[in-house]
Amino acid sequence: MKKLTNLLLISLLSFFVTTFTIEAKEAELNQEDLKTLMKERFPSLNINLMNDSDIPGFYAIEADGELVYLSKDGRFFIQGTAIDLENRVNLNNTQKAKWNSLKAPMRKADVASLKEKDMVVYKAPDEKHVITVFTDIDCGYCRKLHRERQDYLDRGITIRYLAFPRAGLASSSAKKLEGIWCSADRQTAMTDAKLNQKFSKATCNNPLAEHMKLVRKFGLGGTPSIILEDGNLIGGYQPAEVLIQNLDSMKSE
């Protein structure tokens, strides 16, 4: 019901938006003023990206990893799925695709700045590609990817894990990840945690908070989140035989 209400609201706004834009044009705010206004109204909100949306009179905003729409006068704030009924297009999908392409160079640079000593790395003997995977312990597809890790390694794909406790840094998932990162043998500890439900209780200074800063900066919403060598993002599990085809085609372009 909530999604339907959002959809109807967006449809109505789209219907009346031409009149609204003409009458309210002088009231439009620039992006910086809108960011300031949103910060005043929602102090904890972090806006990562803002650009014109395909809904006339509205900006598309990535805020804490979520896509929302904000009218250019700062009055209307819409969260939900936006559909172009005339063209039968999911505007959320097209907007996220644009952002993924836009953010790829930024993600590539940020990942390149990380040190492998702060990761859990499974290196392919005949390395052809490197993927960086934001992972959680309490995640079925993260366990599936890890269970199949030898398939990736055999195809020349090195796996580098970063921590993404989806429930937050104060959660039990974060404690489990901390135990892995603080173990003398991180690879064994990762496998024990994911596949055998055996968790290390080791504690130490660890990079989890830094990894979570990247989670927020990249706008990641789930695990596993796979960053490719060119900075592009795969939001979810992908089997090794499919991933290697994508990586090889990317390298040949």
Residue type, 9: L
Which residues touch 237 (CB under 8 Å, ≥6 apart)?
141, 142, 144, 145, 224
142 is catalytic: yes
Catalytic residue among 33, 107, 136, 185: 136
Q: Which of 139, 149, 155, 160 is catalytic?
A: 139
| Active site (annotated) includes residue 182 | no
Beta 120-122 vs 157-163: how paired, if at all?
antiparallel
Active site residue 139: yes
Residues in Cβ contact with 165 at an 8 Å cutoff, skipping those fewer than 6 apart: 136, 137, 171, 173, 174, 176, 177, 208, 212
DSSP 91: H
Residue 32 CA to residue 1 CA, distance in Å, equals 34
Taking the C-alpha atoms of residue 116 and residue 45, their distance in angstroms, rounded to an integer, is 31
Q: Is 88 a catalytic residue?
A: no
Identify the active-site residue in 75, 151, 166, 216.
166
Active-site choice (107, 126, 142, 185) = 142
Q: Catalytic residue numbers?
A: 136, 139, 142, 166
